């Protein structure tokens, strides 16, 4: 099925591949990130569980005979399936009975409360994590530098980014929400604010039916926003909230954070633990990130102009933007994004590790002043990693907000985020 003004997504190909090899595919991710639109393009029939006219009847059918909701041309899309968790096992059963691929697509912006008690679906239901749009998907990166080609060892050609520093600031505050990307001017900045308001007043409580204090939720989001792209501990978050005169206990913080994860609001960046040439204590704490950088901007009510006047905050949010994009590009290459830091203080903003063992190290620098220092850090890390066990890095990259893509004499790549694609 086709929908109007659909901007192609990198995960379109991933969904198509999974449908060829799985009986069903579960697409998860934050609401408004485009899950339904992407699934609709691939689907031959659709059932919307949130349909105000038919939803009540669908819920009754789910209680009485869930298989009724699974009848239709395939792939059949069941949107917001978690409203009737019984559908999970119903889909798994039907897939077993039909013994055919590409039968169902399930989409959901929340993990159901009783998820832990359901069958895993292994071998029947494949999972696809969807993000908001990368700059390449929103057609703001020209895609002159391909992550796939870099891992294949192909040299980069000289390229120029079309993104100005002002446009990067705007992209951070607007975010990668498909509806916002299609808007013009300041109107595009409003959706992220609405998203945050919905989290505070509705979504975080609705996900598990447990009422949560909106003021505490707001303060938690604010603390996470102030600590975005850092390894701020729970203790740091707790102390930060106490400074706002509304404390929260450690167990309550865990409950709130778990709820934010279940609605795909936060997505921390795990630490990388490679084999090293010599014994070195590696920090294992994750970096704090939202699923989209605009969430942090909206929580802090930061504007593009404000970022341009505060390059410290701009730098952290730029790193969060780059992390989001790199996650999308890495996923397309069967990889994940980590970070590295050891007891000596050596750190690397991103480690892109593919499941076939290849890896690369990436430093993020908004401007050009710190490129030399970043290059030295990357080369130092490469020397520390045990090549016999981990292999040599496929490449070392400095991801910037600058204009030109090129390779330095020492082999380190300098790539603007406005030139990168999967």
pLDDT tens over the chain, length 422 residues = 444 688 999 999 999 999 999 999 999 999 999 999 999 999 999 999 999 999 899 999 999 999 999 999 999 999 999 999 999 999 999 999 999 999 999 998 877 765 544 555 566 899 999 999 999 999 999 999 999 999 999 999 899 999 999 999 999 999 999 999 999 899 999 999 999 999 999 999 888 888 899 999 999 999 999 999 999 999 999 998 886 666 788 999 999 999 999 999 999 999 998 877 766 668 889 999 999 999 999 999 999 999 999 999 999 999 999 999 999 999 999 999 999 999 888 999 999 999 999 999 999 999 888 999 999 999 999 999 999 899 999 999 999 999 999 999 999 999 999 999 99
> Residue 309 and residue 317: Cα distance in Å, rounded?
13
Burial zone of 224 (CB within 10 Å; 0-12 exposed, 13-18 middle, 19+ buried)? buried
> Residue 271 and residue 47: Cα distance in Å, rounded?
40
**Rg, Å, the chain Cα set:** 22
> Residue 291 and residue 288: Cα distance in Å, rounded?
10
Q: Name the nearest CA neighbour of 74 among 106, 34, 120.
A: 106
Contact between 406 and 156 under an 8 Å Cβ cutoff? The reply is yes
Q: Is the peptide bond before 83 cis (omega within 30 degrees of 0)?
A: no
| Continuous H helices in 263-399 | 293-299, 304-309, 311-332, 371-384, 387-390
Burial zone of 67 (CB within 10 Å; 0-12 exposed, 13-18 middle, 19+ buried)? middle
Contact between 69 and 59 under an 8 Å Cβ cutoff? The reply is no
Phi, psi of 271 (to 5 degrees): -80, 150
Residue 269 in 3-state DSSP?
Answer: strand
Domains in the chain: ranges and CATH = 11-129 (3.40.50.300), 145-421 (no CATH)
Contact between 264 and 28 under an 8 Å Cβ cutoff? The reply is yes
């Amino acid at each position: 099925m086709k929908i109007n003004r659909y901007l192609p997504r990198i995960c379109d190909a991933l969904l198509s591949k999974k449908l060829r090899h799985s009986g069903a595919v579960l697409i998860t991710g934050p609401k408004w990130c485009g899950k339904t639109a992407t699934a609709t393009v691939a689907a031959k029939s659709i059932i919307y569980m949130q349909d105000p006219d038919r939803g009540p009847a669908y819920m009754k059918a789910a209680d009485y005979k869930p298989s009724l909701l699974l009848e239709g041309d395939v792939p059949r899309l069941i949107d917001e399936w978690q409203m009737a968790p019984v559908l999970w096992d119903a889909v798994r059963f039907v897939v077993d009975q039909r013994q055919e691929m590409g039968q169902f697509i399930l989409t959901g912006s929340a993990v159901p409360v009783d998820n832990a008690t359901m069958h895993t679906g292994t071998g029947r239901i494949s999972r696809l994590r969807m993000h908001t749009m990368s700059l390449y998907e929103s057609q703001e990166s020209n895609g002159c530098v391909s992550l796939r080609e870099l891992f294949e060892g192909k040299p980069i050609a000289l390229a120029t980014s079309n993104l100005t520093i002002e446009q990067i600031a705007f992209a951070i505050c607007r975010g990668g929400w498909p509806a916002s990307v299609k808007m013009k001017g300041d109107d595009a900045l409003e959706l992220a604010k609405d998203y945050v308001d919905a989290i505070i007043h509705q979504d975080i409580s609705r996900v598990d039916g447990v009422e949560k204090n909106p003021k505490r939720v707001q303060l938690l989001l604010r603390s996470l926003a102030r600590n975005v792209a850092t390894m701020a501990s729970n203790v740091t978050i707790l102390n930060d909230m106490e400074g706002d005169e509304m404390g929260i206990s450690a167990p309550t913080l865990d409950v709130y954070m778990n709820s934010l994860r279940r609605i795909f609001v936060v997505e921390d960046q795990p630490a990388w633990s490679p084999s090293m040439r010599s014994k070195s204590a590696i920090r294992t704490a994750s970096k704090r990130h939202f699923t989209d950088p605009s969430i942090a901007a909206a929580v802090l009510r930061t504007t593009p102009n404000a970022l341009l006047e505060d390059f410290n905050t701009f730098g952290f949010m730029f790193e969060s933007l780059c992390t989001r994009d790199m996650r999308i590009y890495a996923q397309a290459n069967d990889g994940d994004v980590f970070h590295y830091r050891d007891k000596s203080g050596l750190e690397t903003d991103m480690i892109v590790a593919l499941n076939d063992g290849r890896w690369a190290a990436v430093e993020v620098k908004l401007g050009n002043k710190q490129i030399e220092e970043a290059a030295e850090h990357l080369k130092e890390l490469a020397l520390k990693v045990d090549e016999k066990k981990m292999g040599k890095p496929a490449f070392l990259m400095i991801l910037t907000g600058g204009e030109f893509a090129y390779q330095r004499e020492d082999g380190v790549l300098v790539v603007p985020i406005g030139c990168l694609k999967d």
